[in-house]
Amino acid sequence: MIEKVRCLIIGSGPAGYTAAIYASRANLSPVLYEGMQPGGQLTTTTEVENFPGYPEGTTGTELMEDMRKQAERFGADIRFGTATATDLSSAPYKVTIDGEKVIEADTIIISTGATAKYLGLPDEQKYAGSGVSACATCDGFFYRKLKVAVVGGGDTACEEAIYLAGLASKVFLIVRKNALRASKIMQERVLNNPKIEVLFEHETLGLTGEGVVQGANLIKRKGQTDEEQVHIEIDGFFLAIGHKPNSDIFKPWIETDEVGYIKTIAGTPRTNVSGVFASGDVADPHYRQAITAAGSGCQAAIEAERYLSEKGL
Ligand code: NDP
């Protein structure tokens, strides 16, 4: 069964819903598939205090619910389902939903987001939203004058450690190797920051605490003769070990960088396939904020509208 749509939006984070608001107000009759995690990454955070328009803050879930309702008010057709395969070899483009239904779309807005990597410890689930976070910019504010740990040794980890050092009383940076992978300048900033203590050659075994994170059990120089168990007292545990952009099903057609972020023409959401646009974290290795994702969703919808009118579709 093939269904024909003018504008297909894949993904339901701030980018996808904003694209749906703009596309529906432009009479593109957009169909949006929510994907496996309706509302996207924001639904895994607690409070959101940095999205403009909410002077008292809101929650990630409420923000996404509001965006969805706003898109529906203008007629966006929001559906439960996940894109599982694509054929973007020629227009109209084909997208398979849940391995069954095929949508034929004149334009596609890819807003499938990225997934933060976790260590895979059961405690990360246990304390999700209660001290475990993968976004310092989102959640750092809640740890003012408290102690936190950041895991990772790349640029993101260093950036997050520095950001958190501006808020928290103490930041441990847990690095599995004996060196940081980050750029020299970031390394220097971290090593010269009196609030940051770098724990080289440490790995996390688990987290402790009654209902909320109160500490972490680490192992130093695992497998060596001088292996040692270490306990640190912390209130927050931040993962910064990388993100995986959700771009796999587009890769046969759409250019990505070596990590998998979709390449767009600078300053636009245009991909290498005309009529296919990318917005939000799937195309953004740098900012990864709800507001920047929303902005690029708007750009994608405007581009989709222009593309359709140029083609007379
Ligand atoms: P990276 O892949 O560069 O670094 C990931 C870090 O996490 C590494 O130190 C890695 O350790 C560590 N890590 C991975 N898995 C585990 C694990 N299971 N346990 C413990 N540690 C682990 O990712 P980033 O997100 O930091 O950066 C991604 C890209 O974005 C990079 O190219 C980076 O330069 C860029 N970036 C640039 C910024 C800037 O210029 N301002 C800011 C942020 C990112 P190991 O070193 O041992 O492999």
Res 48: pLDDT: 84
DSSP code, position 111: -
Q: How confident is the model at residue 50 (pLDDT cuts 50, 70, 90)?
A: confident
| Identical fold between 2-115+243-311 and 118-239 | yes
CA 148 to chain centre: 21
Res 255: pLDDT: 98
The average pLDDT across 160-178 equals 97
**pLDDT at 1 exceeding the cut of 80:** no
273-289 pLDDT per residue, tens: 999 999 999 999 989 88
- Cβ 279 vs Cβ 300: under 8 Å: yes
- 257 labelled catalytic: no
Q: Which residues line ligand 1 (CB under 6 A)?
A: 119, 151-157, 159, 176-177, 181, 241-242, 285
The active-site residue out of 138, 235, 284, 298 is: 138
Give whole-number Cα distances, 86 to 109, 168, 252, 275, 301, in Å.
13, 45, 9, 14, 20
- 139 labelled catalytic: yes
Question: Considering the chain, what is the average pLDDT of its residues?
Answer: 96
81-99 pLDDT per residue, tens: 999 999 999 999 999 999 9
The active-site residue out of 7, 106, 123, 135 is: 135
Superfamily covering domain 118-239: FAD/NAD(P)-binding domain (3.50.50.60)
Q: What percent of the chain has a predicted confidence (pLDDT) above 90?
A: 89
- 123 labelled catalytic: no
Distance, CA 111 to ligand 1 centroid (Å)? Answer: 23
How is the chain split into domains, by residue range?
A: 2-115+243-311, 118-239
Task: Look up the pTM and report it.
Answer: 0.79
Fold of the domain built from segment(s) 2-115+243-311? FAD/NAD(P)-binding domain (3.50.50)
State whether the Cα torsion 247-106-30-266 is positive or negative.
positive
Distance, CA 161 to ligand 1 centroid (Å)? Answer: 13
The average pLDDT across 90-112 equals 97
- CA pair distance 191, 116, nearest whole angstrom: 25
> Which residue owns the Cα nearest ligand 1 atom 47?
177
114-162 pLDDT per residue, tens: 999 999 999 999 999 899 999 898 899 999 999 999 999 998 899 999 9
Question: What is the enclosing helix (H) or strand (E) of 94?
Answer: strand 93-97
> Which residue owns the Cα nearest ligand 1 atom 34?
155
> Beta strand 31-33 with 2-10: parallel, antiparallel or unpaired?
parallel
